[in-house]
């Protein structure tokens, strides 16, 4: 369809003046567009309630955000080399990607792991794999994020055990586990247990970390995958905060005082294409969460009211066509995250629509963050967009739309009930369908896909995982099982089984089993037997 066609004119008149959340963008904004006469009071100052302008007074003037590139593939040895490569080039935090069998609680030699070992992340079957993954990396000197959900407790305990082996003060360990299983039922699918036992594991992690790992972020409440599944910005905001409410309520119901665990909650958001809407989204999220924590849960500690978040640029916006265009997309999305006040950031690599990132593309992605931090001057002042009529208006409108959606979730009985009834899933599916239809009708322009196409196939050096990887991993597992003390492993697994039948905290017997080199699959296998398993067909039965 050419630029003069009816469809293109319709796009110019209608779609280009709306955000993906359906908020109309006016040609000009001024004082009259701001609904609240006391909007300046709502803004406040950075570091003060309601934190609209940022959670810290100095923001990036004090120190830049953590540059945390998400990486992990094939074996622990290869991923360890990638981590060292990134740290040598100025990365300031690690972010671990695990393969699908690990995420689903299966060892690499399980029949269901066939063909997936090491493909979208690193395969970790036991403490031995974790030892290799972080060999030569002092865990008391780095901050590590682990994108793991249903088996989050196991990977966290493995990390702690490696730190103990290194002689580190584990109470000073810094990092985050995603540990957000509710969004798995909604948007991603790597769940294992039904919702109730899953929530038990999450609150057990809260309690364990409060006692043993006080600096660790116990959960990263994730809107990222909700957006990747096709939601709008308003839905991402609403459903993420609704899930956050469910986690806080579960912890309170389990007997935890809100100001004892809430400071270690964190969030994870997407950075999508509509620059102004994304900046407004982060500002609205901080303001909304501060009020939720103070007004609904009675949090007094300012750290409990702060919404601290990690951001990743939008993988769903990357295109296999003209992949170098993705460098520009990622740069603008990263800039939106920084202007919105993120605490850490992952920038996607331009070749990710084609393969796992190459060393070259990973370096370009990291350099993108470093250029923003060092060359633009935008980090010299806190919240540069504060007072912008359009940004303040969008912040208000996103908050209003999100609160309306959250009201529906509340009417259904909260996030767990809303998920069980399929409300969130249907909302996201409808938004994803509408977006895709707009692209296919040429109303939504994707450069290089439905406009400004060339037809040329990219010539690139792509990273490939060695097909021998699975066999090698199976051989390592066989050697581990032959070398370890099987009687000690069986005793530890029996203790875990007994604890699962009580209300005892499960992380302590888990840690004993992992220290004895029980595998991830063996530990999860015990819990599957005791807690049950959530089947995909149940998740689709609305």
Is 0.75 topped by the overall pTM?
Answer: yes
pLDDT at 12: 43
Q: Do β-strands 93-97 and 66-71 pair in parallel, antiparallel, or remain unpaired?
A: parallel
Contacts of 424 by beta carbon, 8 Å cutoff, 6+ apart: 186, 226, 239, 409, 415, 418
pLDDT at 11: 38
Burial of 149 (0-12, 13-18, 19+ CB in 10 A): buried
How far is Cα 424 from Cα 225, in angstroms, rounded to an integer? 13
Low-confidence ranges of the chain (pLDDT < 70): 1-16, 35-42, 463, 536-542
pLDDT at 39: 53
Q: Which domains, and CATH codes, for the chain?
A: 8-440 (3.20.20.240), 486-539 (no CATH)
pLDDT at 536: 57
Task: Show the 3-state SS of 436-496.
Answer: HHHHHCCCCCCECCCECCCCCCCCCCCECCCCCHHHHHHHHHHHHHHHCCHHHHHHHHHHH
How far is Cα 43 from Cα 468, in angstroms, rounded to an integer? 56
pLDDT at 540: 43
Alpha helix ranges (H) inside 213-232: 224-228
Residue 339, token pair as written in the block: 């202007």
């Amino acid at each position: 369809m050419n630029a003069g066609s009816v469809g293109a004119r319709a796009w110019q008149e209608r779609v280009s003046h709306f955000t993906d959340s359906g908020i109309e963008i006016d040609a000009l904004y001024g004082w009259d567009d701001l609904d609240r006469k006391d909007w300046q009071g709502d803004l406040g100052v950075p570091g003060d309630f309601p934190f609209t302008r940022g959670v810290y007074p100095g923001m990036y003037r004090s120190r830049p955000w953590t540059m945390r590139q998400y990486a992990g593939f094939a074996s622990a040895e290869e991923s360890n080399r990638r981590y060292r490569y990134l740290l040598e080039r100025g990365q300031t935090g690690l972010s671990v990607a695990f393969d699908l069998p690990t995420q689903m609680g299966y060892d690499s030699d399980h029949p269901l792991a066939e063909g997936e070992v090491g493909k979208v992340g690193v395969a970790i079957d036991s403490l031995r794999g974790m030892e290799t993954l972080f060999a030569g990396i002092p865990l008391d000197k780095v901050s590590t994020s682990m994108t793991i959900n249903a088996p989050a407790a196991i990977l966290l305990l493995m990390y702690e055990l490696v730190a103990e082996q290194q002689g580190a003060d584990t109470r000073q360990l810094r990092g985050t586990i995603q540990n957000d299983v509710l969004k798995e039922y909604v948007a991603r699918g790597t769940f294992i247990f039904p919702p109730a036992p899953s929530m038990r594991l999450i609150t057990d992690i809260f309690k364990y970390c409060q006692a043993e790992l006080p600096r660790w972020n116990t959960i990263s409440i994730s809107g990222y995958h909700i957006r990747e599944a096709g939601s709008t910005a308003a839905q991402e905001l609403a459903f993420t905060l609704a899930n956050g409410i469910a986690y806080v309520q579960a912890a309170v119901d389990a007997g935890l005082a809100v100001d004892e665990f809430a400071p270690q909650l964190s969030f994870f958001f997407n950075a999508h294409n509509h620059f102004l809407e994304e900046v407004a989204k982060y500002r609205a999220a901080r303001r909304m969460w501060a009020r939720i924590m103070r007004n609904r849960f009675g949090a007094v500690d300012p750290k409990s009211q702060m919404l601290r978040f990690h951001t990743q640029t939008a993988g769903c916006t990357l295109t296999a066509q003209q992949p170098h265009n993705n460098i520009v997309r990622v740069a603008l999305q990263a800039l939106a995250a920084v202007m919105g006040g993120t605490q850490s950031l992952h920038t996607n690599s331009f070749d990710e629509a084609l393969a796992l990132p190459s060393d070259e593309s990973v370096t370009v992605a990291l350099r993108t963050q470093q250029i923003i931090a060092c060359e633009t001057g935008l980090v010299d002042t806190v919240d540069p967009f504060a007072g912008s009529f359009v940004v303040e208006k969008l912040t208000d409108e996103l908050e209003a739309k999100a609160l309306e959606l959250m009201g529906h979730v509340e009417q259904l009985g909260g996030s767990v009930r809303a998920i069980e009834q399929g409300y969130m899933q249907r909302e996201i599916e409808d938004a994803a369908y509408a977006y895709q239809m707009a692209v296919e009708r040429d109303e939504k322009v994707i450069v290089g896909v439905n406009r400004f196409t060339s037809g040329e196939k990219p010539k690139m050096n792509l990273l490939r995982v060695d097909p021998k990887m699975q066999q090698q991993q199976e051989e390592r597992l066989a050697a581990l099982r032959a070398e370890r003390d099987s009687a000690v492993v069986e005793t530890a697994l029996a203790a875990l089984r007994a604890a699962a039948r009580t209300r005892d905290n499960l992380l302590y017997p888990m840690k004993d089993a992992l220290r004895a080199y029980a595998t991830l699959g063996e530990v999860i296998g015990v819990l599957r037997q005791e807690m049950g398993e959530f089947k995909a067909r149940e998740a689709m039965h609305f």
